[in-house]
Amino acid sequence: MKMTPALLIIGGLLVFWSAVYVSVILPWETMPDDKSAAWMKWTPDEAAGHDLYIRNGCSYCHSQFVRAVDWADAGAGRLAERGDYYEQEPAILGTERVGPDLSQEGGEHSDDWQRAHFINPRNTRPMSLMPSWEFLGDEKIRQLTAYVRSLGGKTAAYRVARQDKWHAAATAAWKLGVDKNVDWLHEQVPAVWRPMPNPYPATEAALQRGEKTYQTFCIGCHGPMGDGQGPAMHYLEPPPLNFTVLRRHLVDGKYIGGIFYYQVMNGITGTGMPYFKRELESEKIWDVSNYIEVRFLGYTDATLSPQGIPAAYEPAWENTFKPPSATGESK
Amino acid sequence: MLKFASKPQSAALAFLVAGSAWFLIGTLYGLVAALHLMAPELYNNISWLNFGRMRPIHVNTVLFGFVATTLVGCAIYYVPALLRTRLWSERLGWFSWLCWNAAVLSGPTVFPFGLQQNREYTEYLYPFKVLIMLAILTLIVNLTLTIAGRKEKTLYVSVWYAVGALIWTAGVYPIGNVMWRPQTQALPGLVDSILLWFYGHNMVGLLLTPLAIGIAYFVLPRVTRAPLYSHRLSLVGFWALVATYTQIGGHHILQAPIPNWLRTVTVVGSIMMILPVFVVLANLWLTTRGRGMKLWGDPAGRFVLAGTMWYLLVCLQGPLQSLPSVQAVTHFTNWVIGHSHIAVLGFAGFIALGGMWHMLPLVCGRKLYSARLVNLQFGLLLFGLVGFFAVLTTAGLIQGHAWATGETVYVVLPSLNVYMALRAMLGLFIIAGAAVGLYNVVMTLRHGEPLEPAALEAEPLDAARAGEVSP
């Protein structure tokens, strides 16, 4: 075969456009353009937020589709559907995850958490690599927050409604004062969890593990002293809990581990406190509870009764902390 | 008026010089982005240094600015040279140059203001996309009329690839940028991603790849003074390239809810891509067989040889990555970033530089200012890029396996820190390589010794053409 200009140009275009027909035109013509059950139309604010998301290159680090292999991050379990992207223009699926997938982020966090996070992501996520967006100004951050709230369509709307409901309840409780707020928070924990001691010994190694978890997940809101004065406090309502007041709110005068575990696991929906059960396993939550108790309450209920058969690996460890009631402190 | 623009080969020279400058600028923006991933508060809350705005400057400037510009500069030199004629119009070449570089310049000047489109590689604003299309179309006109007025009857294989790259890109570019919808330059819904990744893959597959292969077919036989191994393999490689590369963009969105048949097409196409790669490499390497030391001893030949080796690596990795079971771990991670760097800088970039160092003296009529600086650039880039590839692949495997065992993206971030720091450091070697190259280009133009006219008039590819008459 001899290559002539005609063969080169006509043949080259023929093969190319045949391939384009298979890979582009055929799917374009045959893919139904329909809405998924979860799809919702954007409000003007949400559309403006999407525009900001596009123009500032958010999709270089955040994907917007959940895959069958995804496990831990928000939205895992609900696979992306073609119709989720109906009318989105452009729908940016993303190619890299420096940050989490955002396709189901709506309602995962409270709005004021999102604001604190946009202003400086290290406010709420100390190890985050995301840039600070404070320079965008309040109005644009509000639009971005509206957009993030919408991510997930109707499944997000369900979560957002739950956030809003509990936000009202938690804010009302906060306005009753420090102690009544703690009473309300404890009432929201199922009764079986409340008189539950921390089953993990508060050994030095366990406390060091707990400190690492605290610094990676908690310090931005609750602060290095556990007094609720982390950098995110300026943006959160109700504000982060001051752990030191819990010394006068122990259940039956001695238990607090079970309440910590439950609240770290499930979060306090409606407030800035997210759930951590997808990224922290059981031991990490018990260790960070022990860390908070020992460092900020000066007391831990670790290994108090009731106790079952201790795990084989656990070292000999004696809890020498006395509950405040035993030291003569009163509520 | 504008006398310099009618000087023979001045347009090719302009492309080569601009490519060298964009190389330095593009990699500097890469460093800005890399530092951000190492220390996110190093320049905190500064809008015009924000990661989301810097990354597209880096990507577009190295893709369109450095690699594509240099490759096109080589092509508009070697096509007329192989056809024993002059470029049809130097002025039209300059017009293409102006359109093309104005578009590339819009990256650093427009993106920092938060004005971009966020579809990868389609970020340029609409007017600049029009300029890119103008540049491509005028280049097609220029090369087609050059071919029409040729004095050499045979079209050497490099010419096929140069023409192919341009006529295919003239189709890929408007499809990928949805240029018939100027308001968003995107289609509504999921189908947009199919167009986007058809385009995204083919910016490498049908623009950079054929232009780079064209250079390899030009430089390797010339440096080794060896006839092309097989005309038949050239044909197979050329037609197999356009038939397979065009089908495989879908592997970028394999895990998204696209039709199953399209997934199958794209994975099968990705595996079949090995065919043109092996055929082309076999043809090139068999051409140089027994003359490896000659190739290695020539600074430009060394770049092109290394580029063909990167080509083998990246095109073994690519098909592997398209397999669903591999993607389950590697997709969304830094592994893919490593892959894209060895494709654009390793394969296409090394060959573009090799082509430039080989052709610059022929284009400007001066000997290279320093062959040792070319070798220094080679060493800097090779060290930086091998390190980059190792570090990013490792980071990608850490991410992928951690996610697969149930860790969240956030939990894994601290494990990446050391790799992000190493990647920024290795980037310094690449930037140094770019700076050395630009210095060498400028010094060649200003102080290079003039070449004897005989060297300029020498038959561009007599030896290689000898292979074409054999079956």
Which pLDDT tens digit goes with each residue over B332-343?
A: 999 999 999 999
Lowest average pLDDT, out of A155-164, A316-325, B267-276, B285-294, goes to A316-325
**Cβ pair B118:A22 closer than 8 A:** no
**DSSP H helical segments within A176-314, as ranges?**
178-187, 204-213, 219-222, 257-266, 282-292
pLDDT of res. A286 = 97
pLDDT of res. A314 = 83
The yes-or-no verdict on residue A330 having pLDDT over 90 is: no
A17, A24, A70 ranked by CB distance to B194: nearest: A24
The yes-or-no verdict on residue A220 having pLDDT over 50 is: yes
For residues A273 and A167, the answer to whether their CB atoms sit within 8 Å is no
- What are the Cα distances from residue A168, in Å, to A236, A269, B6, B193? 13, 11, 74, 40
Of B112, B164, B104, B109, nearest in space to B132 by CA: B104
pLDDT tens for A15-27 read: 999 999 999 999 9
Query: Residue B117's pLDDT band (boundaries 50, 70, 90)?
Result: confident
What's the mean per-residue pLDDT of chain A? Answer: 94
Residue A237: which domain range? 176-327
In a domain, A103, yes or no: yes
Query: Residue B11's pLDDT band (boundaries 50, 70, 90)?
Result: very high
Give residues 269 to 288 of A whose Cβ lies within 8 Å of B. 278-279
**Cβ pair B256:A65 closer than 8 A:** yes
Chain B contact probe: residue of A69, A124, A141 with most B CBs at under 10 A: A69
In a domain, A2, yes or no: no
pLDDT of res. B467 = 47
Helix axes A111-119, A138-150, angle to 10 degrees: 130
**For chain B, which residues make up each domain, given as ranges?**
9-469
Q: Give kind and range of the element (H or E) at residue A52.
A: helix A44-55
Burial level of B28, CB count in 10 A (0-12/13-18/19+)?
middle
pLDDT of res. B470 = 40
Can you tell me the mean pLDDT for A122-139?
97
Instruction: Give the count of beta carbons closer than 10 Å to the beta carbon of residue B261.
Output: 12
In a domain, A309, yes or no: yes
pLDDT tens for A17-56 read: 999 999 999 999 999 999 999 999 999 999 999 999 999 9
pLDDT of res. A326 = 79
Chain A positions in Cβ-Cβ contact with residue B322 (cut-off 8 Å)? none
Q: What is the CATH number of the domain that holds A190?
A: 1.10.760.10
Can you tell me the mean pLDDT for A232-244?
96
Query: Residue B471's pLDDT band (boundaries 50, 70, 90)?
Result: very low
Among residues A99, A134, A159, the one where a domain terminates is A159
Kindly state whether residues A58 and A92 are assigned to the same domain: yes
For residues B82 and B158, the answer to whether their CB atoms sit within 8 Å is yes
pLDDT tens for B284-300 read: 999 999 999 999 999 99
Can you tell me the mean pLDDT for B119-138?
97
Chain B contact probe: residue of A16, A62, A284 with most B CBs at under 10 A: A16
In a domain, A295, yes or no: yes
Kindly state whether residues A207 and A138 are assigned to the same domain: no
Query: Residue B460's pLDDT band (boundaries 50, 70, 90)?
Result: low
- Helix (H/G/I), strand (E/B), else coil: A251: strand
What is the nearest CA distance from A218 to chain B, expressed in angstroms? 13
pLDDT tens for B200-244 read: 999 999 999 999 999 999 999 999 999 999 999 999 999 999 999
Residue B166 CA to residue B209 CA, distance in Å, equals 11
User: For B9-469, CATH number?
Assistant: 1.20.210.10
Of A136, A135, A137, A147, nearest in space to A111 by CA: A147
For residues B162 and B217, the answer to whether their CB atoms sit within 8 Å is no
Kindly state whether residues A254 and A294 are assigned to the same domain: yes
**Cβ pair B52:A131 closer than 8 A:** yes
Residue B428 CA to residue B383 CA, distance in Å, equals 11
In a domain, A28, yes or no: no
Number of domains comprising chain A:
2
**Cβ pair A88:B239 closer than 8 A:** no
ipTM confidence score: 0.95
pLDDT tens for A264-308 read: 999 999 999 999 999 999 999 999 999 999 999 999 999 999 988
Can you tell me the mean pLDDT for A200-211?
96
Can you tell me the mean pLDDT for A135-155?
97
Query: Residue A331's pLDDT band (boundaries 50, 70, 90)?
Result: low
Of B274, B340, B352, nearest in space to B312 by CA: B274
Can you tell me the mean pLDDT for B82-110?
97
End-to-end Cα spacing for chain B = 50
In a domain, A77, yes or no: yes
Kindly state whether residues A76 and A203 are assigned to the same domain: no
Kindly state whether residues A138 and A236 are assigned to the same domain: no
Residue B308 CA to residue A164 CA, distance in Å, equals 59
Residue A270 CA to residue A238 CA, distance in Å, equals 9
Of B407, B331, B400, nearest in space to A73 by CA: B407
Kindly state whether residues A139 and A262 are assigned to the same domain: no
pLDDT of res. B459 = 67
Q: Is the peptide bond between A90 and the residue preceding it cis, with omega within 30 degrees of 0?
A: yes
- DSSP string for B326-369: HHHHHTBSHHHHHHHHIIIIIIIIHHHHHHHHHHHHHHHSB--S
For residues A94 and B93, the answer to whether their CB atoms sit within 8 Å is no
pLDDT tens for B392-431 read: 999 999 999 999 999 999 999 999 999 999 999 999 999 9
The yes-or-no verdict on residue B464 having pLDDT over 70 is: no
B45, B194, B252 ranked by CB distance to A135: nearest: B45
Kindly state whether residues A58 and A138 are assigned to the same domain: yes
